[in-house]
Amino acid sequence: MTGPMVEVRGLDVAFGSVQVLHGVDLAVERGRTVGVVGESGSGKSTLAKVLVGEVGPAAGSVIVGGDDLTRHDRTTLRRQRRRTQMIPQDPYSSLSPRRTIAQTLAEAIDPVRARVKTHEDQIASWLSLVGLEPEMMHRYPHEFSGGQRQRIAIARGLVIEPDVVIADEITSALDVSVQAQILDLLAEIKESLGITVLFISHNLAVVQRVSDEVVVLYRGEVVEAGPVERIYADPQHWYTRRLLDADPGSPGFRLAS
- Provide the pLDDT for residue 256: 37
**Can you tell me the distance from the alpha carbon of 37 to that of 26, in angstroms, rounded to the nearest whole number?**
13
Whole-number Å distance between alpha carbons of 230 and 214? 9
How far does the chain reach from its first CA to its final CA, in angstroms? 55
Q: What are 233-252's pLDDT values in tens digits?
A: 999 999 999 999 876 555 44
The rounded Cα 186 to chain-centroid distance in angstroms is: 11
Q: Whole-prediction pTM value?
A: 0.87
Burial of 234 by CB count in 10 Å (0-12 exposed, 13-18 middle, 19+ buried)? exposed
> What would be the CATH architecture of the domain defined by 1-83+165-257?
3-Layer(aba) Sandwich (3.40)
Listed by start position, the domains of the chain span 1-83+165-257, 89-161
CB of 157 within 8 A of CB of 86? yes
39-90 confidence digits (pLDDT tens): 988 999 999 999 888 888 899 998 888 878 777 667 666 666 778 888 888 7
The CB-based long-range contact list for 7-11 (8 Å cut-off, 24+ gap) reads 7/61, 7/62, 7/63, 8/47, 8/50, 8/51, 8/60, 8/61, 8/62, 8/63, 9/60, 9/61, 9/63, 10/59, 10/60, 10/61, 11/47, 11/50, 11/57, 11/59, 11/60, 11/61, 11/62
Percent of the chain with pLDDT over 90: 51
Name the E strands within the chain: 6-15, 18-28, 33-37, 59-64, 67-68, 84-87, 164-168, 196-200, 213-218, 221-227
% of the chain residues with pLDDT over 70: 91
Check pLDDT > 90 for residue 24: yes
Q: Which of 92-96, 152-156, 164-168, 237-241 is predicted with the least confidence, judged by mean pLDDT? A: 92-96
What are the two backbone dihedrals, phi and then psi, of residue 20, each rounded to the nearest 5 degrees?
Answer: -100, -40
Question: SS3 for 13?
Answer: strand
Query: What pLDDT shows up at residue 27?
Result: 93
Mean pLDDT for 1-18 is: 89
